Amino acid sequence: MKKIASYLKPYVPRMLLGFGIKFTGTIIDLFIPWILAYMIDNIVPQKNVPLVLAWGAAMLACAFGAMITNIIANRMASKVARDSTERIRHDLFEKVLSLSEGQTDEFTIPSLVSRLTSDTYNLHNAIGMMQRLGVRAPILILGGIIVTLILEPVLAMVLILLMPLMAFVVYFFSKKGIPLYSKLQQNVDKLVRVIRENITGIRVIKALSKTEYEKERFGGVNSEVSASEKKASLTMAKTDPLMNFLLDMGLVLVVLIGAFRVNAGLTKTGEIIAFLTYFTIILTAIMTVTRLFVMYTKAVASAKRISAVLEAPDDLTVEEILSNPAFNEDEKEHISFENVSFSYLKSKNNLENISFGLKKGETLGIIGATGAGKSTILKLLMRFYDPDEGSIKIDGRDLRSIPEAELRSKFGVVFQNDTVFADTVYENIDFGRGLPKENIISAASFAQAEEFINSLEDGYDAQISAKGSNLSGGQKQRLLIARALAGKPEILLLDDSSSALDYATDARLRRSLNENFKDSTKIIVAQRISSIMHAEKIIMLDDGAIAGMGTHEELLENCEIYREIYASQMGGGIADAIRNEYAGNKRFG
């Protein structure tokens, strides 16, 4: 909550000015019943029509003044709510982008989406309403009580005696409501997750005729949200009937006591009418306060969820770690893993004792079964996670000692299931980096994407649909590879990025990388041996451990698992073509 409160500090002067205007308008509102009582008791008996009209004009002036001041104050409150929520949402989005992969896994993506949308919306409503009604309602209550004490102290005591009971009702149900609304938001997170999964996988759902199954799954989560919302709403809804009951009882007592006092000549008729008007104003203000507490309860729950993200510590901090002493550049390892072990869930290791080194310009191929840890090696190299044991170094520098911006600038990367954005072909390759046009065009050529780009009606200005739905799998992969190459990276990471390419295109791509990116160190994760058999070094992963490491020929000779994969993939004419292509690559480097 302190973190959220800090976002309102820059707007304190504007809020104070708004409060002053709102206070003025509310005080003017409180004069109207008093003027009415004065007219009934003192002006009307005189039968002086011009004087009645004059006081009536004064009531109209008060009503108009109250309206104008409230409009001005409400506009100022809306601007504060808009601007502060915009800053909160911006900083929250920025923080989400800076979270480590481990923190993202902990919060979960659906929850982060929910915090950026529904939680910030709850805050926006609360900030605006608290300024508009949170100021006006208490002034009406306190001002109304003060005026009624002056006007009719005996009747005012009835109202004062009710205040502690009403305060207890508000406090009790607000305390119960905050955890209920927190649970509701957690269930909304689940709902967002299911919706995202269904929208993302809608083609698979339809293809496998699982529409009814997904409807049932969504129905279950939707029912949980409805049940949580019902419980929270019913709990908070009890405040209105209880408050109404207390106030109605007070109103009955006021009428009864007032009737006796008028009959005894202790109170004037106009004062009773004014008192009932003030009582109605106070009643309405108190009901407004109860609704504000419902909104405040939601906002507190949302603020806690937002603050949890904003206050999340930077768990991948830059540390002072001594680098390896300088040595001969030709012998220096560009990338090295030294006894690296890592576990996502901190139970069983996903990677176990991984060690290897690459010189600048070398190519490493990584192959293994699904879940063997291939992509995890790339994530550790980019420092999305820190290893549990061992160290990873680039140019002899431990990753933990390299600032994030410097580290990430070294990479060009294509991940599994990478994202193409709803934008032009050119912008998807440039990706907001402002790269020279020649870099974009040459990268598309190196990635074997130029041919299909030129075949599009608008070429590089052709619009790509969200997630590249108007591209084939191979076209999408070549576009993503072009994006990785356009920045002329020092280290190129390709994570199963050519799985949708035919063998001929894959071969041309690898030849292009060898010819045009000789100085870039390349790590290629693949399922096909043909994609990595040309590499200077190949790692065969098996259940998170290195089952074999060496050149293609060395693994064929020494690694049983690698031989089995080779035998299963390299059959018939395809094997001959690949072997001939591989031999050509060896001749031309």
Q: What is the mean pLDDT of residues 533-539?
A: 90
Highest mean pLDDT among 195-204, 395-404, 571-580: 395-404
72: how many CB neighbours lie within 10 A of its CB?
Answer: 16
Q: What percent of the chain has pLDDT over 90?
A: 18
User: Average pLDDT over the chain, rounded to whole?
Assistant: 83
Residues 353-397 have pLDDT tens digits of 999 999 999 999 999 888 888 999 999 999 988 999 999 999 988
The secondary element (H helix, E strand) that includes residue 201 is: none
Phi-psi region of 361 (alpha: psi -120 to 50; beta: other; left: phi over 0): left
Higher pLDDT, 269 or 315: 315
At residue 30, the pLDDT reads: 83
Helices (H), 311-391: 374-381
Residues 5-35 have pLDDT tens digits of 888 888 889 988 988 998 888 888 888 888 8
Q: Are strands 363-368 and 537-542 parallel, antiparallel or unpaired?
A: parallel
**288 close to 239: Cβ distance less than 8 angstroms:** no
The model's confidence at residue 521, banded by pLDDT at 50, 70 and 90, is: very high
Nearby residues of 135 by Cβ (< 8 Å), 6 or more positions away: 18, 19, 22, 23, 26, 73
Highest mean pLDDT among 271-285, 315-329, 368-382: 368-382
At residue 578, the pLDDT reads: 46
Residues 195-253 have pLDDT tens digits of 877 877 777 777 777 788 888 888 888 888 888 888 888 877 777 788 778 777 777 87
Q: What is the mean pLDDT of residues 469-485?
A: 87
Is the pLDDT at 134 greater than 60? The verdict is: yes
**Which of 219, 229, 228, 196 is CA-nearest to residue 113?**
196
Residue 546 burial class via C-beta count within 10 angstroms: exposed 0-12, middle 13-18, buried 19 and up? buried
269-310 vs 211-237: helix crossing angle, rounded to 10: 140
At residue 163, the pLDDT reads: 74
Is the pLDDT at 586 greater than 50? The verdict is: no
Nearby residues of 56 by Cβ (< 8 Å), 6 or more positions away: 39
**Least confident segment among 39-48, 109-118, 151-160, 573-582:** 573-582
Residues 90-124 have pLDDT tens digits of 999 999 888 888 888 888 888 888 888 888 988 99
Q: Which residues pair with 541 in a beta bridge?
A: 368, 546
Q: What is the mean pLDDT of residues 317-333?
A: 60
**Which of 445, 177, 162 is CA-nearest to residue 292?**
177
153-200 vs 269-310: helix crossing angle, rounded to 10: 30
At residue 353, the pLDDT reads: 92
At residue 1, the pLDDT reads: 59
Query: Which position has the token pair 């290897």?
Result: 356
Q: What is the mean pLDDT of residues 170-183?
A: 76
Is the pLDDT at 560 greater than 50? The verdict is: yes
Q: What is the mean pLDDT of residues 162-166?
A: 77
**Which of 199, 197, 193, 200 is CA-nearest to residue 221?**
193
**Which of 22, 33, 28 is CA-nearest to residue 136?**
22
Phi-psi region of 353 (alpha: psi -120 to 50; beta: other; left: phi over 0): left
CA distances to 108, 109, 188, 451 from 193, rounded to whole Å, are: 9, 8, 9, 38
At residue 539, the pLDDT reads: 93
d(CA 96, CA 91): 8
